[in-house]
Chains A and B, each alone.
Chain A
Amino acid sequence: MQNAPDAVASDAAAGEARQFISFTIGDEEYGVDIMAIREIKGWTATTELPNTPPYVRGVINLRGAIVPIFDLRTRFGGGVTTASARHVIMVVSVRARVVGILVDAVADIITITAGNIQPVPELERKTDSTFLSGLVTVEGRMVALLDLDSLFDAELTADLHSFAA
């Protein structure tokens, strides 16, 4: 944040400016609130979890913590990413948990004021629109802002304790 004096300026002007980190999956660009991001690291091999949905790529060791990795492309119905060393894991904190999301590449840091965020049109059905909190246009590109909470809602709260019955 120190590297963006213009961001500070617009902060003061608009009052509600927020910063997002944008990343790409294929041709699409998504944004995540910078405050949710803990770190960004290169892809490392995961340990698969048995009997989990395909978008759960498994878990990695992040300095002693076990962190699950979700393939966002698969989550959005785009097939399984063939991960390579060039792919990126964005480690985010959501609902007091730390999870990694696998994306193709990090694109940009963007500063947006609340007024610039447009609602997701009803017809946008390519991805499940409840995962998106809004759309913004940055230098002619459309960036879809992710709502991490609802994205991982089912994933992190589902109760698997039902087997003993």
Chain B
Amino acid sequence: MAEDQSTDLSRFKATYFEECAELLTTAEETIARLQDGSASDDDLNAVFRCVHSIKGGAGAFSFDGLVHFAHVLETSLDLLRSGRAAMTPQVADLLVRGNDVLGDYVRAAQEGVELPPGHGREIMDQLAAIITGAPVAAAVSAPAPAAAPAAAPPADPAERKWCILFQPAPGMLRTGNDPLLLLRELAGLGVMTVEADRTRLPGLAEMDAMESYLSWTVTVVTDKPRAAIEEVFEFVSGDTATVSIEAISPGAPDEAAAAEATEGEGWGLFTPLAAAAPAVAEPPRPAAAAPKADTPKADASAHGPVHTASIRVDLDKIDRLVNMVGELVITQAMLGQQTTHFSVESHPELIQGLQELSHHTRELQESVMAIRAQPVKALFSRAPRLVRDLSAKLGKQVRLVMSGENTEVDKTVIEQLSDPMTHLIRNSLDHGLETPEERTAAGKPAEGTVHLAAEHRSGRIIIEVGDDGRGIDRRRVLEKAVEKGLVERGSQLTDEQIDALIFAPGFSTATEVSDVSGRGVGMDVVRKNIQDVGGRVVVQSTPGQGSRFILSLPLTLAVMDGMLVAVGGQRYVLPLTNIVESLRPTQQQARSLVNIGNVLVLRGEYIRLIPLHQLFGIADAVTDPTRALVVVVETEGGDRIGLQVDELLGQQQVVIKSLDANYRPVQGISAATILGDGRVALILDVGALRAMGERMPGAGGAEPMPAEAAE
């Protein structure tokens, strides 16, 4: 029994820590917005809610240190959001660090270790200073209604009467909220009287038990602050209920005085001072002395955690689902293949059924993939922090610009990219960007820019990390490469080839090893990580103007549309997204140029022609281009090449199977798939084929490539 309980508890704990991780990230993102000033009031509320949720769970599991720290942070956030303390850049910084410390506490609780007793003390003290210094700060920031707030103590011990109008939306019960519980909670705050409004109640026959028809006017007399009442309705969003809270204050003369002033200043005790101007006061409720803007309603509708109907699912379960859908796609392809010779006339129902099956399979597959898709925001969200920390450490001024954060990509891809991205950003800051002095001397703005961008392009996701720094110093790179024996002295390399050297294992140009980057174990690992998920990374650099690292990755690691092509006895799959057109070239179109190889002349454009049989050493293929087919394909870089194949066999959806799970990567091949007949077909990697084609023997006769040449 005891064991059962403990495993149960540990399961809850695991869920709690998962949630904490998400909450901490959300809080951090939001605080970052607060820092750059683009935040709204809702953002403060959001941070507050995050911290509050962490604290709540921590209390349940008795993580005392965590609860204590979270409480201090929460209290100061509460003061900030109610405007009793002013938001300044210093405070924002403090919040960032507070969030970090909170993260430390969460991790410590997760790992079951005790943090040293003084951990985060400094932050806590500063936060405490916000709390105690609150009224003063508020008075300074909003001098106009100074008299009223100055007179108001932060927590008024006097009892006050509150009028709460609580009107559940018809569907509130369906979202799991029970008005009765909320009312009971209100009752717990003090002396409560409730009046139910039954006017909307239909006859018994028309009544739907799942709807809520009642609304309530509640009067509570309590010594608790407004926040306590708001907290009761914390998880009731604007979609599920309308809540307004007003003070009917019997015994607070200074508040009444304040209320008699203009509406903008008529805030009373517990509403923002600094943000007074845009207040939209609701029409006064019965006998309300102090009309109030309904802050709880506003923040609830923006961030109701309740109405985001989502569930937490173990990734393994989704993976199983993805695999099964993959098998289904193969089976469906097989059925399709087996029945091609059946005519619609002889088997109308079978053919129709198969068409529907194919339709449903595709829809199913798309839905499953959508489950795994996540915006790259999850990846980018760590960048602001990293840039902030590093720029401080390196003494550089850096502006981070992000675009395309909402581009979606498979979750596994995102996970695999986290380390490479971190490294690329570090690299840009450390090696790419110059110091402010150097920049000014070079006639550039002192503040450098790091640009993160994501977009979908030809069925892949392109992620770019760019900077406007000094660019790659090719002379030094080449020098270093020669020194390290990576290239032979005196070899002639193109600029691109030199740039690519930075990805070579053990290469680093940093003359001094810094603690930011420059241990020389970076870029090759970056490249390897990216290649592990079927991606590629290239660098483009302009001396004096900056560098751009371009990552190209598959959107999903599971299914894609392909064109089946035959070369000799072999069948290959070409990703449909790469294909531009296919044609059988005439004698005039297919030319062989000395030192360049075969080219295809297409509407005045010269395209490199790569005979696949030659690249892969396939003996029984069609060698004459005019008797073969040329598929013009486009790489992510926008380059076009013509792949010479024997024939096109047809288009089909293929399930991507890893080749290196049991073997190792093969050049020119991105993965494998299983065809309808159960045989394996290899999926071509167009970008790699282009690279291989460039290194083919120039004259490009019909002789097959030696097996080792590609390696």
Contacts and interface: CB of A to CB of B under 8 A. Distances in A.
Interface of A: 45-53, 58-61, 64-68, 97-99, 155-165
A51 B664 contact: no
B666 A49 contact: yes
Interface in B658-704: 658-659, 661-669, 672, 674, 678-682, 688, 691-692
A59 B673 CA distance: 11
B640 interface: no
A156 B662 CA distance: 8
Contacts of A61: 674, 678-680
Interface residues of B, number: 48
A50 B616 contact: yes
Nearest to B675: A61
B645 to A, nearest CB: 13
Given A50-B617, A59-B672, A61-B680, A164 B661 contact: no
A66 B657 contact: yes
A157 B668 CA distance: 18
B52 interface: no
A59 B674 contact: no
Contacts of A159: 664
Given A164-B503, A165-B504, A52 B527 contact: no
A49 B537 CA distance: 24
B232 interface: no
A141 B679 CA distance: 38
B667 A160 contact: yes
Contact of A156 (B326, B617, B664, B681): B664
Given A161-B531, A165-B501, A51 B678 contact: no
A165 B503 contact: yes
A50 B663 contact: no
B662 A98 contact: yes
A160 B666 contact: yes
Contacts of A158: 664
A99 B672 CA distance: 15
A161 B692 contact: no
A155 B707 CA distance: 15
Given A50-B669, A163-B667, A163-B688, A59 B680 contact: yes
A157 B504 CA distance: 18
A59 to B, nearest CB: 5
A126 B707 CA distance: 25
A47 B681 contact: yes
Contact of B657 (A45, A51, A64): A64
A65 B667 contact: no
6 contacts: A50-B667, A51-B616, A64-B323, A161-B531, A163-B688, A164-B500
A64 B691 contact: no
B666 A52 contact: yes
Interface string B484-505: 0000000000000000110110
B664 A160 contact: yes
B423 interface: no
A53 B711 CA distance: 11
Contacts of A98: 662
Interface in B64-99: none
A58 B682 CA distance: 10
B498 to A, nearest CB: 11
Given A51-B707, A98-B662, A161-B665, 20 more contacts: A48-B570, A49-B682, A50-B616, A50-B618, A53-B707, A59-B659, A59-B672, A60-B680, A65-B661, A66-B658, A67-B662, A68-B663, A97-B661, A155-B664, A156-B663, A158-B664, A160-B667, A160-B711, A164-B500, A165-B500
A49 B669 contact: yes
A51 B682 contact: no
A155 to B, nearest CB: 8
A50 B668 contact: yes
A65 B330 CA distance: 13
Given A47-B680, A66-B657, A161 B663 contact: no
Contact of A161 (B330, B528, B678, B709): B528
Nearest to B692: A163
B370 to A, nearest CB: 23
